[in-house]
Amino acid sequence: MYMWCTLKLFENRIAKAVNGHEIIVSLVPENRKQNTRDGFKWVQVGHKIVLENGTEVQLQLDGRSFYTQPNQMFRLV
């Protein structure tokens, strides 16, 4: 889990909900380990969202929206 101070390391973006609520989030690359003949290497497979409180959530398949709670969708502005 990332702490709030890591929000400064990545680009801060604004996310907006349908009801007009706005939050500041950071887009963080998600890396996975890939097996190769020479061992392992790290490969970027997508992005995660880190909220102001340090909670990590996954982006949806469209790459612009995410859910913080059930029925609480935000879109990156």
User: What is the percent of the chain where pLDDT is above 70?
Assistant: 87
As a whole number, mean pLDDT of residues 23-52 equals: 92
Q: Which residues of 4-32 are buried (b: 16+ CB within 10 A; e: fewer)?
A: eeebeeeeeeebeeeeeeeeebbebeeee
Q: Give the pLDDT confidence score for residue 11 in this predicted structure.
A: 78
Residues 6+ apart with CB under 8 A from 5: none
The torsion angle over the Cα atoms of residues 34, 36, 38 and 43, rounded to 10 degrees, is -30
| Mean pLDDT over each residue of the chain, to the nearest integer | 87
Residue 1 reports pLDDT greater than 50: no
Top pLDDT among 1 and 10 is at: 10
Question: Into how many domains does the chain fold?
Answer: 1
Q: Decide if pLDDT at 62 tops 50.
A: yes
The residue range of the domain holding 19 is: 4-76
